[in-house]
Amino acid sequence: MPELPEVETIARQLRARGVEGRQILSVRVEWPRTVEPLSVAVFCKELRGTTIDRISREGKWMMFSLSSGKTVMIHLRMAGSFSMESGPHDRLVLQLSGGLSLYYRHTRKFRRWKLVDDPQVILAKLGPDALTRRFTQNYFCEAMRERHRMIKPLILDQSIVAGLGNIYADEALWEAKIHPERLSDSLGDAELGNLFKAIKHVLTIGVRNRGTSLGDGKTNYRDVEGESGGHREKVKAYGRGGKPCERCGNPIKKIVVAQRGTHFCPSCQTI
DNA sequence: GAAGACCTGCTA
DNA sequence: TAGCAGGTCTTC
């Protein structure tokens, strides 16, 4: 679920709720495999008594910089979320100073809380974050041209550009009118330029709308305030199989590309 | 590349 | 009841 805009929304809300600057009084791990690579006991001991100095984000990773010098790296995977109130599927709870509790929630138990000395060990494997200045059009075009792969799996590859997931990849390709199975080195300058701009655009709009949530079931994305994100009505391709393309009226088609459900307009996005 | 693993819960 | 889900990882 959470891609760059959802993680950014959650990070901003945690800051707004005043999580930065608070001390961690206690840690409760409800699903032990949430934590790695340390044992739960060591993990809790390392966190207890430290202060969360800063909350930041890079790609889909969220980082809590601790006063101990270590960093908690959190990846929300498919269904992770945070809340200030307890609820079903809480996997890890931080009791913070000032009477605040922070609940990490994940229906599917896809774990990922890492305590590291240096976040670069993980971040160095990522390409530039899609919404930073380090992600430039030149870099993007070069990266696409020097490979010979289908464009969709390539823009989902976090080692090339960090932040896109399945929803925003489909949205960016729809916006740039590029078929998801086009080979990366077959794309011209204009097409790559359009795709670059579309990636920045769909993610920026996603952040502005505080993320995307599809449907309204309990497993969908929720931000820290329990809201489902305002981007749902803005989605043009993802999850719209069979529905008319907003640009040309022909039905959006759903196919599978590199094992991921993929939605596109066969008449706007030609091979 | 592709397929399986990690998991639960919703939908068809 | 089977299939599918916003994401990585590992192993062919």
Phi-psi bin for A31: left (phi > 0), alpha (psi -120 to 50), beta? beta
CA gap A5, A205 in Å, rounded:
8
Residue A185: is its pLDDT beyond 70?
yes
Phi, psi of A253 (to 5 degrees): -110, 145
Cβ neighbours, 10 Å, residue A108: 12
- pLDDT given at position A229: 72
Q: Which residue is nearest to nucleotide B4 (CA to C1')?
A: A259
Residue A78: is its pLDDT beyond 80?
yes
Boundaries of every domain in chain A: 4-123, 137-264
**CATH architecture designation of domain A137-264:** Orthogonal Bundle (1.10)
pLDDT band at A216 (very low <50, low <70, confident <90, very high): very low
Residue range A43-60, pLDDT digits in tens: 999 999 999 999 999 999
Helix (H, G, I), strand (E, B) or coil at A33: helix
CA gap A210, A12 in Å, rounded:
10
CA gap A256, A241 in Å, rounded:
12
Contact residues for strand C with beta carbon within 7 Å: A 1-3, 6, 59-60, 75, 77-79, 108, 110, 112, 156, 158, 165-167, 211-215, 219-221, 229, 260-261
- Domain covering A4-123 assigned CATH 3.30.360.10 in the classification: no
Phi, psi of A7 (to 5 degrees): -65, -40
Q: Which residue is nearest to nucleotide B10 (CA to C1')?
A: A217
- DSSP letters, A177-206, are T--TTSBGGG--HHHHHHHHHHHHHHHHHH
Nearest residue to A228 via CA among A216, A239, A238: A216
Residue range A136-166, pLDDT digits in tens: 999 999 999 999 999 999 999 999 999 999 9
Going by DSSP bridges, is the β-strand pair A90-96/A80-83 parallel, antiparallel, or unpaired? unpaired
**CB-strand contact A30/B, under 7 Å:** no
